[in-house]
Amino acid sequence: MFRSTLAGSIGLVAALLLASCGEPPKVERGQYPLPEGVETAQCEPGQYGGVFILTEVTEPKTFNFLVPSDAASSSAMGKFLVGLVGWDPVKTENIPALAESWEIGEDKKTYTFHLRRGISWSDGEPFSADDVIFTFDCIFAEERDPQTGQMRPRFPNRYIGQYTIGGERIRYRKIDQYTVEFYTPQLYSPFLNDIGFAPIIPKHKLYAAFKDGTLLEQWSTQTAIEHPEELVGLGPFKVFSYHPGERIVYEPNPHYWRADREGQRLPYIDFLVVKYMKDQNADVVLFATGQIDAAAISASDEAWVRKGEQAHDFTLYERGPTPQVSFFWFNLKPGTDKNGVPYVPPYKMAWFQDKRFRQAIMYAYNREGIARGVYFGRAAPLDSIISQGNPKWHNPDVPKYRYNPDKARELLREAGFDWNEAGELFGPGGHRVEIELLLYDSSPRMSEMATTLKENLAGIGIALRINYVDFAVVIQKIDNTYDYEMSAIGWGSSAGASDPSGSKALFASDGIYHIWNAEQETPATDWEARIDELVTAQERTFDEAERVKIFGEIQAILAEEVPLLYLVTPYSYSGIKNKWNNVVVPPSGSLVWNLDELWTEEAIDE
């Protein structure tokens, strides 16, 4: 048995970890035998010890994967939860995870997954096919609506739509304790990719909440604060402690199912610390001064950060255009609140629904100036929902909008808008064109781009007011109350990065993330109906070239209709301290995707 203590900046680590403990916690190693279904990692064997420190701006809102969440929540859950199938960002292919192998039937609709034998949850309870069936029972559970008599989801969640194919839900069954079978109602080529989206959850921990209907209340942030041991998973880590506004600390899962070729159970590190910083620039400063272990570096910060490579012993990697996208959009959701007040005033809705108005905004927006001024030329205007950073699926031949205020004025005039002598723009009904942009207050980059938009729109007579609010308020308004006119967000779905079908909830008109007008009963426009057809078509073919062509058309439609007002694609940079071994830089995505394999010789053993 091994025992290893904290290494590196012991003062910082002590401050982070020991506020309530009194003495340095120690990590038990080797007390449980490796399971029959162990996966042997192909990395170079390392040694135990060390603390890996990261930062995040946004804190998790939940640790329950069924509850609507943001990227920060998904990231936190991803440390201790895992699905049947994984993704290797270096090889860009699906890889075994909880399922060590699988077969696809001759009908290409039947998928049989063979689970790892003998592996255990982080609390030591055995994992089996019952947990897989339970997870999907939770996703698809229904109840009768007492008012309408219709069946409705018992636990509403995004996965229902993702696993509904051609209007029918996937079917699944247990073959034996280590075998499960899934059946897609029609040909669905991205299924292997998609099945990995849902993390498997423990039946022994959550079945009672499933039965009594309180499942969505479980695994809240309060659980992490008061009883982190209740957050049971199959991933490389488990939650050690969570202090809102400060940090979350993870420790190794003593039952993790991966080991190196010398038989050492992964992960190597003793603790993973994620510090929460209000200022998005703080992580860059901390990394550049050697206080955290890895960070994503903005193109605008690359030059000055790189100057510290030798002094603080880190390496900065140029990653090319980022695969993440960001955009503004107008609220096109029709309807009223419970008091009968329209979500958007009808005269403004008429503006927003006019494609010419949306295109005019794009022509009026100097994104080339942002690329030069904010990113020092290390960025380019974004033209598609799939960025240049995902070349396999990116369509470079979509309609493009470059800064042209005269063209913007031409389109507005064509749509019935006009200006008074003071240069103020008025709509066809005589209303002054004034718009409120709802923006979260923790993103300096987004704020800079919004300020540029405000200045550019003023140049064509539009008054834009920026309303800065907490990120949670933005999510509440765009997901639930719909009482906003315009907003902005980044779209960096890991699911969509591996295969754009993972962004089905954004593309499809009935999708929960069809952000400009979500969850439509029927497509509101002909072009949205066409995208729905294309989404279904790409699901039914196993010809990858055909799928790429179909997604090219989806991108072209979205670029022409402009429901999303794309911003810029910055070049991405990532840095990590040189003391860490087994660093493998993928074409895109997180630099620490293989965090369970990283190790350092600077760890202190006892």
Residue 141 dihedral angles phi and psi, to the nearest 5°: -55, 140
Q: What is the mean pLDDT of the chain?
A: 92
Q: Are residues 335 and 259 in the same domain?
A: no
Would you state the structure tokens that stand for residue 477, as one six-digit string? Answer: 């308004």
* Residue 462 token pair: 């539009």
| 330 and 268 housed in the same domain | no
Which tens digit of pLDDT belongs to each residue from 502-556?
888 899 999 888 999 998 999 999 999 999 999 999 999 999 999 999 999 999 9
Per-residue pLDDT band for 282 (boundaries 50, 70, 90) equals confident
Tell me, what's the pLDDT at 92?
Answer: 87
Work out the burial of residue 460: count CB atoms within 10 Å of its CB; fewer than 13 is exposed, 13-18 middle, 19 or more buried.
buried
Residue 477 and residue 339 in one domain = yes
- Nearest C-alpha neighbor of 79 from the set 99, 54, 105, 101: 54
Query: Over 50: is that where the pLDDT of 20 sits?
Result: no
What's the sign of the alpha-carbon dihedral 147, 150, 155, 158?
A: negative
In a domain, 446, yes or no: yes
pLDDT tens digits, 586-604? 988 889 999 999 999 986 5
Residue 69 lies in a domain: yes
Residue 162, token pair as written in the block: 């993702």
Do 507 and 483 touch, CB atoms closer than 8 A?
A: no
CATH code of the domain containing 541: 3.10.105.10
For 246, which DSSP code?
A: T
Q: Contact at 8 Å (CB) between 227 and 240?
A: no
Given a contact cutoff of 8 angstroms between Cβ atoms, the answer to whether 330 and 358 are in contact is: yes
Total count of domains within the chain: 2
As given in the structure block, the two tokens for residue 219 are 């695994």
Rounded distance between C-alpha atoms, residue 26 and residue 221, angstroms: 25
266 and 408 part of one domain: no
* Cα–Cα separations (whole angstroms), residue 259 to 36, 40, 46, 254, 471: 12, 5, 11, 11, 39
Measured CA angle at 80 (ends 323, 515), to 5 deg: 40
In the predicted structure, residue 22 carries a pLDDT above the cut 60: no
Residues 250 and 369 in one domain: no
Please indicate, yes or no, whether residues 257 and 334 belong to a single structural domain of this protein. Answer: no
316 and 304 Cβ atoms separated by less than 8 Å: no
pLDDT of res. 66: 95
Which whole number is the average pLDDT over 155-176?
93
Tokens 């969850």 sit on residue? 519
Q: Indicate whether 350 and 472 sit together in one domain.
A: yes
Domain interval for residue 566: 325-570
Residues 235 and 90 in one domain: yes
Q: Is residue 583 part of a domain?
A: no
Give 505-509 contacts, CB < 8 A, sequence gap 24+: 505/158, 505/161, 505/162, 506/385, 507/385, 507/531, 507/535, 507/554, 508/161, 508/532, 508/535
CA separation for the pair 23, 17 (Å, rounded): 9
Write out the DSSP string of 465-492. EEEEE-HHHHHHIIIII---SEEEEEE-
For residue 41, tell me if it sits in a domain: no
Query: Does residue 336 belong to any structural domain of this protein?
Result: yes
